[in-house]
Amino acid sequence: MNPGNASSPKIFILLGFSDHPWLEMPLFMMVLLAYVFTLLGNISIIVVSRIDPHLDSPMYFFLSNLSFLDLCFTTTTVPQLLLNLWGPDKSISYGGCVIQFYMFHFLGATECILLAVMSLDRYLAICKPLRYPAVMNKRLCILLVAMAWLSGLANSLLQSSLTVQLPLCGNNKVDNFLCEVPVMIKMSCVDTTFNVAMLTTVGTLYSLVPLSLILVSYGFIVATVLRIRSLEGKKKAFNTCGSHVFVVSLFYGPVIIMYVQPSATNSQDKNKLMSLFYSLVTPMLNPFIYTLRNKDMKGAIRRLLISWCHWGTEEI
């Protein structure tokens, strides 16, 4: 895929779901609706977290970062998917394809680390409540978020740069709805054993290590919560963490299937569904999971809507 290589195509054809043409228009409507909900939900969380003083805490700082990340994640792939579903043109330029898989792996790896950071925040808040305000200060929060973004960037630069060097020998048909590293590796006409091994190794590092840290954090959290005598206290603690556990499950399941298992064991239809799930469904559900299960967030949204209604009435 090196642009200096004559065998690299100038455009790629994203086959997507073209082998099921009857599915494209219903899928277009579903993806468009999901994308609108993703934009509205995540933008709402960012706005509310920024302007409501009741949400001025590390938990909502991390949550607003997750929402911004999800906005970028879906926007990297969904507009192109909608264009390809709408009409007969399934093409994407060489540059667009390269940018897409660089960004996709950058944002995906960042989310893996950010979810682990959020579990650390919940661990300190519940298991070390007296030390929490001093430890989880604004400087540390910014440092942890910066670490998540920089580690995601490092992952993308490694994996995507290795992939972009692979010759394709004129092959320009991408059997997916987006340009993604595992698919691009399969398209190469040379031995890709090293690339597959690196993808599996780095995929394991960026998925199973953060997931292990999350599980350890929640092990300590559960042990601490079970020692709480008050039933109301237990309920509040579990509600605080329940949303994050659900989000972690939705995100890490498809990621592990895609990047930790050897590529050869997955059918391409299965890979397409997994890619669609964690690039669209999970970012769409995240805002609803956090707002429906979070009393503070629901209260903040309610106060914001009421203030907007009052402002609108005064204007009239």
pLDDT > 90: what percent of the chain?
17
Please state the rounded mean pLDDT for residues 172-181.
Answer: 84
Amino acid at 3: P
- Greater confidence (306 vs 75) lies with 75
Do you know the residue count of the chain? 316
Please state the rounded mean pLDDT for residues 208-230.
Answer: 84
Phi, psi for residue 13 in degrees, rounded to 5: -105, 115
CA separation for the pair 60, 56 (Å, rounded): 7
User: What pLDDT, on the 0 to 100 scale, is given for residue 6?
Assistant: 46
Average pLDDT value over all residues in the chain: 81
Amino acid at 6: A
Residue 148 has pLDDT above 90, yes or no: yes
Residue 219 exposure: Cα atoms within 13 Å on the Cβ side = 6
H helix or E strand, kind and range, residue 99: helix 94-127
b or e along 218-229 (b: 16 or more beta carbons within 10 Å of the residue's beta carbon)? Answer: beebeeebeeee
Give, in degrees to the nearest 5, the angle at Cα 212 between 296 and 277: 65
CA separation for the pair 290, 123 (Å, rounded): 18
Which residues, at least 6 apart from 133, have a Cβ–Cβ distance to it below 8 Å? none
Quickly state the pLDDT bin for 139 (edges 50, 70, 90): very high
Q: Per mean pLDDT, which range of 147-156, 285-294, 307-316 is the poorest? A: 307-316
Q: Per mean pLDDT, which range of 182-191, 207-216, 285-294 is the poorest? A: 285-294
- Return the structure tokens found at 272: 């397409």
SS3 content of the chain, % helix, strand, coil (to 5): 80, 5, 20
Please state the rounded mean pLDDT for residues 55-71.
Answer: 89
Least Cα distance to 246 among 295, 286, 206, 291 occurs for 286
Q: Does domain 11-315 have CATH number 3.40.50.2300?
A: no
Where along the chain do its domains lie? 11-315
Tens digit of pLDDT for each residue in 120-137?
998 998 888 889 988 999
Residue 52 has pLDDT above 80, yes or no: no
Q: Per mean pLDDT, which range of 118-127, 167-176, 295-304 is the poorest? A: 295-304
Please state the rounded mean pLDDT for residues 57-72.
Answer: 91
Bin 169: left if φ > 0, else alpha if -120 < ψ < 50, else beta: left
In contact, 172 and 151? CB cutoff 8 Å: no
User: What pLDDT, on the 0 to 100 scale, is given for residue 15?
Assistant: 82
Burial (CB count within 10 angstroms: exposed 0-12, middle 13-18, buried 19+), residue 310:
exposed
Residue 293 has pLDDT above 70, yes or no: no
Residue 314 has pLDDT above 60, yes or no: no
Tens digit of pLDDT for each residue in 220-278?
888 888 787 777 767 766 766 777 777 787 777 777 776 665 454 456 666 677 777 77
In contact, 195 and 166? CB cutoff 8 Å: yes
